[in-house]
A and B are shown apart, each in its own frame.
Chain A
Amino acid sequence: MSHPTPGCRRGVTLTEIMIAMFIIAISFMPIMGALGTSVKATVKEDTVVRAMNLCQEKLNTSLQFPFAFFVPFLGTPIDAPIATPGISLPLGPETIEGVTYTSVLTVTDRPGTFRVPVRNLDVGNPADPKTWTFTNRNIAYNGLVHTYSLTVSWINKGETEPRFYTLVTFRADLRS
């Protein structure tokens, strides 16, 4: 009967190594899958974040223009660069890292009505506010508030469906 001597160790066989590597490879697959999904999502989110930043930046710039600047453009989507002394706003398409973002600004008038409680001057004691009475008056206005709507649209790499992001705010004519 022959048996290995202490100096001659029985190590791992090629078959064992192959099986071990196969097991490790199999266990790596879900990790690679999760990482792949995560990377794809991050890349996709990057384009969204960039669109959001562009949208904010352009809306902020548009709010720096004088209120009256947009009066001739009311209701018309602006998709080309605009400028006034000291301020310029690039609108329309621009390509950043291989993705084309198109910015369009639409300014519209937002007419409305203010409800104003007006004190009845002939009722009550002027020195005692408790005795005062009020009557609500509805006062309509237009041309004093504009709605600013800025939309950035783009198409992700490898997709055909367009994406968009819109920010809206109101701006009042506070000059007078």
Chain B
Amino acid sequence: MQKKLILDSDLFDLTISRLCQQLIENHNDFSNTVILGMQPRGIFVAEIIHNELAKDTKREIPLGYLDATFHRDDFRRREVAARANETKVPFIIEGKKVVLVDDVLFTGRSIRAAMDAMITFGRPATVELLVLIDRKRTRELPIAADYVGKAVNTLASQRVLVELEAQGHKQNKIWLINKD
């Protein structure tokens, strides 16, 4: 197994603060904005973004967790049913500007499922997508991210491994892994 570092801890911090600055440009005072982290791993990125924005803007932006398991399109096409995680959306989505947050954008299928899951809570005014890593040219659906931490050329056979301090790792690091 070969491992290649694509984002080290310094660059990670820099990327997060750039993403936050881009969000601030587009959302001004965040009065009508909510952040939705996607289960299971996007929630950690969403929390990092949320805390960073709280520091920068002195505002508490509503943060929720969204699980799209029951909206996936591969049910009965996998060996076993995918296991769900907690969904926690303690605010109204209707009319809000939603920022969906995930760690890695790959085929786009989980984002499609997430949008379906999100709409069961109401009709948002706009939906934007923020991802830490955008795997280029691997999309199976016409989905693109509005805010990208880093775009990476990858093969379908490779895997992106995101290690975050919030998940118990020593440092925030992102790797590209060759499966052999």
Tell me, yes or no, whether A binds B.
Answer: no
Residue numbers of A with Cβ under 8 A of B are none
